[in-house]
Amino acid sequence: MKKTIIATTLALFAAGAVQAATEADVENTFNPYKGGFPKAAGLNAGTVINKANADQFKDAIPAGVFKLLKEGQFEIKVGPTTQFELSKAYIEATRKNLGKAKLGPKNGDIEGYVAGRPFVEEPDAKDPRAGEKLAWNYKYGVNWGDGAAISPFYWKYRNMQSGQVEKTIKFNFHFLNFKHRVKDAPVPEVTPNPSELFRAIYVKALDPQDLKNTQLLIQRYEDDQKLDDAYLYLGFQRRVRRLATGQTTDAFLGSDLMIEDFEGYNGRISDMKWTYKGTKNVILPMWNHNELKLAADMPAESDGYKYVNFGGQGGCFHEGTWQLRKVYVLEAAPVNANHPVSKRVFYMDAQLGNLNGANEIYDRKGELWKVFMVGKSHPDSHLPINKGSGIGIDDAFSMVDVQSKHCTTGQFKGQVDPKLNPPSMFQVQYMRGGD
């Protein structure tokens, strides 16, 4: 009994009751480059990293990306490190609610959180729950803001060896935060919200014909201990079916992604054991969309918008620039022994708090299975609607299955536009509306 009390006390102590967060912590978390941008020997804007020189920069390259470079699958052009300033409303919410959030006794428990970044202090290797705090920072991060849409969103299934595009699916993806909103009306919460949802994702397939009107709805609860609700509507069956929990780790529509992969990690905090593995400077795919050489093999949208170009082995790699960033290396190991993944490794951008810039997914045997790279554009160098949003705009992704030599790529038209995401869209009844 005595041991239990001591253990609980230590856990609560580690949970954040030790040292109060300060205004300086707020400044540091949102502007990690105020003392200057990170440097690595020989790594400058314009440097091209490939098979021949990857060893020279190994310490600054995510492990999965390094493996692909050494195999000669693609090459990386380095751009200058730039500021990705977050939304002023989000920073202000962080400041206003400083120190209110505390971890509860169990993984997946949080108390006192209102809005903004819950834990602004630098992660401490001595804190056994430092990884969990970073995970909460992601969950309650800006991500797509209070609401946004990727409309349209092209996924291409590719054979890496032949370069053949096996399938192209055109989607619309929609995101909405029900709670902890800081910028778009209604603030702070969409009401009514009887189910106490925190966030939802709605997906609709537009093309090809055999998948048209296939829809996916994921509802995440405010209470992290509650399982997500996921629903699939198959157009040809004209019915909604609820997905079993395990189906979120199946291949989504035959792609190289599972639902849990969306946005880097699309699951509950309580589904994983989170471990902070240290702070590093590594390269991540981050760029200015309007300055890139854009895809010539896809027609421009009616407003002139063009998509990120792809190249490398099998056309599996987005051709935007990468930049040296301060990251937190974060490892997530599933608590469910039957999970198809043994661990995920994230390189969490310290400024943005996102998990999807470059990550590795390991199979049950502990071997590297997939490398997921999502490139972000600065919002001020993208569509006019995104300017000043303070959101890193997901712009292109590569999900590379290193074992089956296959990949799925994504080209985004991300729009931070609340009008595209009415709350009614994120209810099961909406799916039954068909076309």
Pairing of strands 317-318, 239-242: unpaired
Cα(142)–Cα(87) distance, rounded to whole angstroms?
A: 8
pLDDT of 181 higher than 60? yes
pLDDT tier for residue 152 given thresholds of 50, 70 and 90: very high
Render pLDDT for 313-324 as a digit per residue (tens, 0 to 9): 999 999 999 999
Q: Residue type at 137?
A: N
Instruction: Give the other-Cβ count within 10 Å of 287's Cβ.
Output: 24
Pairing of strands 102-103, 76-77: unpaired
For a pLDDT cut of 90, what percent of the chain falls above it?
92
pLDDT tier for residue 235 given thresholds of 50, 70 and 90: confident
Instruction: Give the other-Cβ count within 10 Å of 346's Cβ.
Output: 28
The helix/strand/coil state of 44 is coil
Instruction: Tell me what pLDDT residue 434 has.
Output: 52
Q: Residues near 280 by Cβ (< 8 Å), separated by ≥ 6? A: 59, 60, 326, 327, 329, 347
SS (H, E, C) 381-417: HCCHHHCCCCCCEEEEEEEEECCCCEEEEEEEEEECC
Render pLDDT for 46-70 as a digit per residue (tens, 0 to 9): 999 999 999 999 999 999 999 999 9
The tokens describing 385, both together, are: 């609607």
> Whole-model pTM?
0.94
Instruction: Tell me what pLDDT residue 2 has.
Output: 45
Render pLDDT for 419-435 as a digit per residue (tens, 0 to 9): 999 999 999 999 988 54
**Phi and psi angles of residue 74, each rounded to the nearest 5 degrees, phi first:** -165, 180
For a pLDDT cut of 70, what percent of the chain falls above it?
95
Instruction: Tell me what pLDDT residue 236 has.
Output: 77
Instruction: Tell me what pLDDT residue 433 has.
Output: 83
How many residues in total does the chain contain? 435
Render pLDDT for 341-365 as a digit per residue (tens, 0 to 9): 999 999 999 999 999 999 999 999 9
Cα(157)–Cα(177) distance, rounded to whole angstroms?
A: 30
Mean pLDDT of 233-244: 88
Task: State the chain's maximal CA–CA distance in angstroms.
Answer: 69
C-beta separation of 205 from 174 below 8 A: no
Peptide bond into 186 cis (omega under 30): yes
Q: What is the CA radius of gyration of the chain?
A: 21
